[in-house]
């Protein structure tokens, strides 16, 4: 990885192998500027259930892995469906593990909710990222309803408006990162 590489960590709220949210992350990764390295965080389902009494720094290997991955990233993208009008438990669990460590505090972040509807989870995520102190730029939050009609069985994003909207989210996230780390 080159010194000027911009590292983006993606957290996916769906654990399904053929997840449409995963497909959106792959689209963003494939269409990002060459200077961007976008990595999917793979360990979200390996985290223990959040317990504030166990929430000490470096207490758990999987938790440390998550916190280190976030700390080493220049920016974070969350891409998630809505389950039962809320944020998927696995994703919320991961985010809860970052409260005490402050890993997301001041971190440029983008929030994409791609679901059948998704409005409630999207609103909740915006509140959660405010609580975590992340920097969600204007333009870096996107709700994609009717997601199953916009991604095909091969995991390709087929809806042109969605493709353009995803590129704009990436632009907004990169703008926020550059604001935090201005060129010398």
- Using CB under 6 A as the criterion, which residues of the chain lie in contact with ligand FMN when the complex forms? 14, 16, 19-21, 81-85, 115-118, 147-148
**Residue number, 106 or 146, with CB nearest to ligand FMN:** 146
**Residue number, 91 or 95, with CB nearest to ligand FMN:** 91
Burial class (CB in 10 A: 0-12, 13-18, 19+), 34: exposed
Strand 75-80 and strand 36-40: the pairing is unpaired
CB of 169 to ligand FMN, least distance (A): 16
Q: Which residues is 151 bridged to in the sheet?
A: 157
**Residue number, 85 or 105, with CB nearest to ligand FMN:** 85
CB of 182 to ligand FMN, least distance (A): 35
CB of 36 to ligand FMN, least distance (A): 22
Report the C-alpha gap between 133 and 104 in whole angstroms: 7
How many residues are recorded in the chain?
184
């Amino acid at each position: 990885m080159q010194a000027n590489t911009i590292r983006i960590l993606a957290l996916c709220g769906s654990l399904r192998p053929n997840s449409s949210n995963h497909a959106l992350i792959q689209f963003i990764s494939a269409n990002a500027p060459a200077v961007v390295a976008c990595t999917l965080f793979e360990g979200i389902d390996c985290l223990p259930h959040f317990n504030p009494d166990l929430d000490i720094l470096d207490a758990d290997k999987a938790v440390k892995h998550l916190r280190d991955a976030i700390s080493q990233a220049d920016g974070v993208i969350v891409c998630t469906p809505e389950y039962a009008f809320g944020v998927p438990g696995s994703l919320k669990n991961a985010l809860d593990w970052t409260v005490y460590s402050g890993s997301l505090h001041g971190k440029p972040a983008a929030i994409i909710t791609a679901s059948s509807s998704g409005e409630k989870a999207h609103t909740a995520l915006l509140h959660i990222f405010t609580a975590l102190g992340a920097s969600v730029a204007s333009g870096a939050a996107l709700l994609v309803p009717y997601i199953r009609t916009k991604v095909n069985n091969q995991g390709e994003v087929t809806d042109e408006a969605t493709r353009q909207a995803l590129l704009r989210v990436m632009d907004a996230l990169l703008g926020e990162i550059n604001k935090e780390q201005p060129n010398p």
